[in-house]
Amino acid sequence: MRVGARGRVSGARFVVSPNWDERPSGAAVTLLVVHSISLPPGEFGGDSVERLFTNRLHPDAHPYFRGLAGLRVSAHLFVRRGGELVQFVPLHRRAWHAGLSAWRARPRSNDYSVGVELEGTEHSPFADAQYATLTALVRALRDALPLRDIAAHSDIAPKRKNDPGEGFDWDRLMRELARA
């Protein structure tokens, strides 16, 4: 896996999201934010996350979706349960994934971060294939960007968010990244 000159990750299926804008001039991407998502909550494998990130999620398709009507969000990347990687926003653009947030007292995390969503919930374990894809992705991002930190969405927005949650094994990710 590698990052191309146009900010696209090789091996990722690219689905264009309109929910992005330009990063501030000179903003270096130094942070990776790990999220979790499933729509409806706890259901995996459908196309609802893609529909949400492309503004095509119909609010009447499920009662839970009514609360998401009009929401304009995206992430750079989405890792499905089987390890498939989907990219919505080129890495040099600012995806709308972090919301009101700060990392180490630096506000506006979207300005200097890449957002990666894992298909899952805050309380259930993630799949082996997701850890394999995420590990390869982090390595590729470190090769292409001045990435220094990896944080949970809950770390940058602790009063608002809990993801990726207790189901995410941070020790496992760090062990896998430490391997040559």
Q: How far apart are CA 90 and CA 9, in angstroms?
A: 8
The whole-number pLDDT of residue 180 equals: 65
Query: Residue-wise pLDDT tens for the chain (180 aa)?
Result: 999 989 999 999 999 999 999 999 999 999 999 999 999 999 999 999 999 999 999 999 999 999 999 999 999 999 999 999 999 999 999 999 999 999 999 999 999 999 999 999 999 999 999 999 999 999 999 999 999 999 999 999 999 999 999 999 999 999 999 996
| Structure tokens, 124 | 């259930």
- Report, as residue numbers or ranges, the catalytic residues: 117
146-179 CB burial, b ≥16 within 10 A, e <16:
ebeebbbbbbbbeeebebbbeebeeeebeebeee
- In sequence order, the 6+-apart residues with CB closer than 8 A to the CB of 45 are 80, 81
Domains annotated for the chain, with CATH where assigned, are 13-44+73-178 (3.40.80.10)
The whole-number pLDDT of residue 66 equals: 96
The whole-number pLDDT of residue 67 equals: 95
Q: How many residues does the chain have?
A: 180
